[in-house]
Amino acid sequence: MDIEVELMNRGQLIELIIICSIIITILSLSGCIENGNDNDNNDQDLEEDWREWPIIKSDAGYEQSHSDENSEEIIIVNITEEYVTSLTVELTWEDEPPVSQYYENQPDTFKLRVSTSWEEDIKSNMTNNSIGEAGYINLTINVSEDDIVTSAMVGEWAINIQCVDCGDQERSIGPIGFTTMQDDSNAWELTYYYEFHRSN
């Protein structure tokens, strides 16, 4: 009689162990799925967070130089910040004053080209000053969200300043036409800055 009871208890014990194993397995799988969901949510939160960070303006860079007609100069900007949303480049120049009251200095023409860190060339229009006034070019490059997420804007950017043409100084001599004095260069000033998201 005692032997039969013992065998029955062993059978029940094995059955209980199997049931417990199944329950533990189910609970473990459930925990893994929940943890996975938490990780996904954390990644999503992190990805969304940078859009809500405040936008900071970098210190402005400044260069000045003098270019000959039909020449170009390159300024390298090294961006180390992540989450950069835009780079702005501004070029200004003033043509030389006329050599005398009888002359008029014809406009000078400049152009900007920016090569991004992901090797895309972005160009301004060719722009000339009005006679007797300063010339000005503003070129702003906005970074797409895809490039922000992959930090494509980290690296070297090249700003290319092109002095395309320098209009000569002209003096009207009535119906005969013009006499000219050559204008073959011009001075310029360049400022640039970029904007980026930074966490608090």
CA 134 distance to own-chain centroid:
28
186 binds Ca ion, rule: CB under 5 A: yes
95 binds Ca ion, rule: CB under 5 A: yes
Shortest Å, Cβ 88 to Ca ion? 25
167 binds Ca ion, rule: CB under 5 A: yes
Strand runs (DSSP E) across 80-134, as ranges? 84-93, 103-105, 108-115, 121-123, 127-128
Q: In the set 166, 170, 188, 196, which binds Ca ion (CB under 5 A)?
A: 166
Interface with Ca ion by CB under 5 A: which range of 49-57, 75-83, 95-103, 156-164? 95-103
Nearer to Ca ion, 91 or 153 (CB): 91
Shortest Å, Cβ 180 to Ca ion? 10
Interface with Ca ion by CB under 5 A: which range of 8-16, 19-27, 160-168, 189-197? 160-168
Q: In the set 108, 112, 190, 196, which binds Ca ion (CB under 5 A)?
A: 108
Shortest Å, Cβ 192 to Ca ion? 23
- Nearest to 142, CA basis, from 75, 105, 89: 89
Interior angle at CA 70, CA 78 and CA 181, nearest 5: 135
Nearer to Ca ion, 166 or 190 (CB): 166
Biggest distance spanned by C-alpha atoms of the chain = 139
Contact by Cβ (8 Å): 125, 172:
no
End-to-end CA distance of the chain: 77
* Secondary structure (DSSP) of 133-152: S-EEEEEEEEPPHHHHHTTT
135 binds Ca ion, rule: CB under 5 A: no
| Interface residues toward Ca ion, by CB under 5 A | 95, 105, 108, 166-167, 183, 186
